[in-house]
Amino acid sequence: MDRWRGRVALVTGASVGIGAAIAKVVGCARDIEKLQKLAAECQSAGHSGVFVPYKCDLSNEEEIVSMFSAIKSQHKGVDVCINNAGVAHPDPLLTGKTSGWKNMLDVNVLGLCVCTREAYQSMKERNVDDGHIININSMSGHRVVQNPDSHFYSSTKYAVTALTEGLRQELREAKTHIRATCISPGLVETEFFQRLYSDNPEKAAAPLSTLKPLEAIDIANSVTYVLSAPPHVQIGDIWMRPVEQVS
């Protein structure tokens, strides 16, 4: 990990757990108060890195481009881009709301692609040839479960699987050593289900009630593992589930 010291990483969706591994992390999300709280926690915990909060709506291309411009002027550019932001809405294919589908596409697919494009351009203009783009995907990008509420969400994660491989191929064609990786977790103890079923606490609690889920730090550790791989090693995808998870 020493080669990342002094480098800049962008984490969408205000990730936690990797601040100590990378010298400077720019975390973006819509909720600036949560970001500022996280920045204070990182500082009080004595992490060697710096957490820089930045308010950005990942469904808005103008805000994303403006964020990258600010990173360029304040920190020179991005060396690592971790596309962690994602949303889900319980909108089935037969009865779902178009607005929910559109929001999932805007954040999970288009927002990820815009961040990826801008991160690559940032690396290219500074002749950074060892950068890394990491997409936090999902096991839902590799199989479809029998839950109508997750079907459209799953389609956006299948897109992330295809986009990551397409990105890897385009990076090879560009004759760069920038790497592209997917990390695909199963059930994780986060706010995901509380947000998905915000009007039904019992339904939100059900998926994690019968097993020991992954924790956010497990995902952060996998990011650290990917970043610490030797420069000649391309890790394409990491599938990770709780041991007790069936699907």
- For the stretch 179-216, pLDDT in tens is 999 999 999 998 888 889 988 989 989 888 899 999 98
**Contact between residue 237 and residue 137 where contact means Cβ atoms under 8 Å apart:** yes
Taking the whole predicted model, whether its pTM rises above 0.85 is answered as yes
Q: Which domains does the chain have, with CATH numbers?
A: 16-24+67-238 (3.40.50.720)
What does the pLDDT read at residue 15? 47
What does the pLDDT read at residue 109? 98
What does the pLDDT read at residue 23? 42
Which residue pairs, CB below 8 angstroms and at least 24 apart, start in 67-72?
A: 67/28, 68/118, 68/119, 68/122, 71/8, 71/10, 71/26, 71/122, 72/122
What does the pLDDT read at residue 5? 85
Q: What's the whole-number average pLDDT of the chain?
A: 91
Active-site residue set: 153
32 has a pLDDT exceeding 90? no
Give the H/E segment covering residue 114.
helix 112-125
Percent of the chain scoring above 70 in pLDDT? 96
What does the pLDDT read at residue 21? 37
d(CA 187, CA 209): 11
The arithmetic mean of pLDDT across residues 26-46, rounded, is 84
d(CA 216, CA 242): 12
Least confident window among 38-42, 51-55, 143-147, 206-210? 38-42
Which pLDDT band, with edges at 50, 70 and 90, does 235 fall under? very high
Residue that wins the pLDDT comparison between 16 and 205: 205
How do residues 127-163 score in pLDDT, each as one tens digit? Answer: 999 999 999 999 999 999 999 999 999 999 999 999 9
Residue 165: CA atoms inside 13 Å, Cβ hemisphere, count? 7
d(CA 122, CA 115): 10
